[in-house]
Amino acid sequence: MIKILFSTIFPAIALAGFSLAGPVHLVDEPPLTIKKVAGDVVLIDFGRVAFGNIELIPSSTAGHDVTVHFGEDLENGRINRKPPGTVRYAVTKANLKGHSPLVVAPPADERNTQTHSKTTPPAVLTPPEWGTVLPFRWVEIEGWPGEIQSKDIVRRSAFLKTWDDEAAAFESSDEMLNRIWELCRYSIKATTFAGVYVDGDRERIPYEADAYLNQLSHYATDTDILMARGTFDWLMKHPTWPTEWAFHMIFMAHADYRHTGDTGWLSSRYESLKPKLLLHRAGTDGLLVSNTAQIKRDDIVDWPKNERDGYVFKPVNTVINAFYIRSLQMMAEMASALGKDEESTGYSAMASKAHAAFQKLLFNKTAGGYRDGVGTDHMSQHASLFPLAFGLVPDQYIPAVVDTVQKHDMACSVYAAQYLMEGLFANEAGIRALELICAPGDRSWRHMLDSGTTITWEAWDMKYKPNQDWNHSWGAAPANLLPRFVLGAEPLSPGWKQARIRPNPGNLKFANGKIPTPAGPVILEWNNESFFRMNLELPKGMTARLELPAHPDSKGVAINGRSVPAKRVGARWLVNEEVSGRVSAEVEQHQPSTVMDR
């Protein structure tokens, strides 16, 4: 049984006067296994990594000294005491005093508890009454008197207090994909320990890109919205340096507006978003221009540096400008929602002007993709994947750009993979997207699973980033990609008043799940064996537009057993009428079939 210890509102945010992030608390978690590994040494496995420490409950009345080792990595059946990169290992001693419960934790690590730094914002501190928390799965104890039992030890694990393990679900015909979703779902839960989204355990500070990717996956796996909002406010106070990270603040605000429909929260933050557009860098053609220092340091494209697919940096940078144009479009939408019509029109005009120059100067029609920048013919995967994900590719060129992007396989990092997958799924390349997620080799989420991790990594493998964290949820993109694109549920209007249901079956035979929304869960199941059929349950007050897979021999769509008007557009049947409540849908074949049993 899991026992709640106590809870607290994250203090640093509350004291600073920012919007409160979600409340965090410690939860008692029992060990999964306990076994003797050498002499008086026992190895205790808690099953998955979590941020926390342990409490010992000795059964002996005598005092004993014990040595406690904490670890994220296991090597030859023992905790790895010299793990690679910033994978965690710590050791401390404790004195057992009779039957008194004793919290055991190593000393604080200066790397992630510093409050002042010349190069980075201050670390996010956990409540002092908790004691030090660190990420670990295994504990070794030396010197325990007698035989240690499950009742003698618990892990005090830190999670968001409002986290609901039942809020979301995903299952498909591919067991590897199911395991990947659970890895990513748990990664989001486990990294809520600080009350705001942080960059794993190395620095414990929020970064804008990390925060946005966390936000998307948090929305898809839980009902909380306060943690994303608290992180947004923290980052407005403590911004970081990369060029694209500024645009991610606009992405965060837009994601909140689309998910919640709350213009009140947006209104009080709208003005603070304007400097994030970096308008001072715009040239006469409307595109942003980078100076030498920005090219050398600030323009990221991807991270770590060796994940850029040979990207050639130029003053007019394709990836920077893709983010810029998409940010202008988002600002136009948010300005309109706030009744700022003149500003909305202005942002739309700037986006259109920049997009025209972007297409003219950067698109290579012959090669079917985008150059890295003005003045080079090099075409990295990144130069095309971001415009594809942001909807900047003109319709007639989408097939060519999809083909160009696919040829590079997974040439980007776990960060850019979010956008690579979005572009593929949104443009009828779901089969390829699913292949890349589950691909053999060392550049996929399958590789993370095969390596034994229980929280996603900062990079695909240690060889791509030797100092990487093993508890970095910017690598958890499938937590949002699979509900949004495989199940196919996304908000079509702010606050999920209207949803779009657009499944991407790929080669899967079936999938089902639950997607949390502010209005209540969307429950969806589909089968794609002999033909496509789907059951859908929408919360009260929500309607949905259906865009269903159009098999080559299909002739239309039936809703609740009744043929309905639908238009075939490319690989989709677009159903004319909106649906609500409980719905059974079937893509009709030339031979009659039966509706899926509920």
Q: Which residues make Cβ contacts (< 8 Å) with residue 316, sequence separation at least 6?
A: 283, 287, 288, 289, 290, 361, 362, 373, 374, 375
Residue where one domain finishes, among candidates 160, 190, 219: 160
pLDDT for position 590: 61
Question: How many domains, in total, are found in the chain?
Answer: 2
For the beta carbon of residue 223, count every other beta carbon within 10 angstroms. 16
345 phi and psi angles, rounded to 5 deg: -60, -40
Residue where one domain finishes, among candidates 160, 189, 223: 160
21-55: string of b/e by CB count within 10 Å (b at 16+)? Answer: bbbbbbbbbebeebeeeeeebbbbebebbbbbbbb
User: Which 3 state secondary structure label does DSSP give 307?
Assistant: helix
Residue 339, CA distances (Å) to 263, 272, 328, 333, 492 in order:
10, 17, 16, 10, 20
For the beta carbon of residue 258, count every other beta carbon within 10 angstroms. 20
Residue 454 token pair: 């229980």
Give CA–CA dist 384/372, Å, rounded: 8
pLDDT for position 116: 66
Give CA–CA dist 124/115, Å, rounded: 8
User: Which 3 state secondary structure label does DSSP give 65?
Assistant: strand
Q: Which residues make Cβ contacts (< 8 Å) with residue 118, sequence separation at least 6?
A: none
Structural domain boundaries, residue 555: 494-589
User: Does residue 63 lie in a domain region?
Assistant: yes
CB 89 within 8 A of CB 72: yes
pLDDT for position 112: 77
Give CA–CA dist 490/77, Å, rounded: 44
The CATH number linked to 145 is: 2.60.120.260
Per-10-residue mean pLDDT of the chain, 598 residues long, equals: 37 35 88 96 98 91 86 96 94 89 91 74 92 97 92 97 97 98 98 95 94 98 97 97 98 98 98 98 98 98 97 98 99 98 98 98 98 98 98 98 97 98 98 98 97 97 94 97 98 98 97 98 96 97 97 93 96 97 91 48
User: Does residue 148 lie in a domain region?
Assistant: yes
User: Which 3 state secondary structure label does DSSP give 314?
Assistant: coil
Residue 256 token pair: 């909140």
Residue where one domain finishes, among candidates 144, 160, 176: 160
User: Does residue 130 lie in a domain region?
Assistant: yes
User: Which 3 state secondary structure label does DSSP give 103?
Assistant: strand
pTM recorded for the entire structure: 0.94
Q: Which residues make Cβ contacts (< 8 Å) with residue 343, sequence separation at least 6?
A: 331, 335
Q: Which residues make Cβ contacts (< 8 Å) with residue 566, sequence separation at least 6?
A: 556, 557, 573, 574, 575, 576
User: Does residue 270 lie in a domain region?
Assistant: no
CB 100 within 8 A of CB 90: no
User: Which 3 state secondary structure label does DSSP give 412?
Assistant: coil
User: Does residue 175 lie in a domain region?
Assistant: no
User: Does residue 345 lie in a domain region?
Assistant: no
Q: What amino acid occupies position 25? A: H
The CATH number linked to 526 is: 2.60.420.10
Burial of 265 (0-12, 13-18, 19+ CB in 10 A): middle
User: Does residue 142 lie in a domain region?
Assistant: yes
DSSP type of residue 312? P
DSSP per-residue codes, 472-494: -GGG-THHHHIIIIII-EEESSG
Residue with token string 């080669």: 507
User: Does residue 190 lie in a domain region?
Assistant: no
pLDDT for position 72: 97
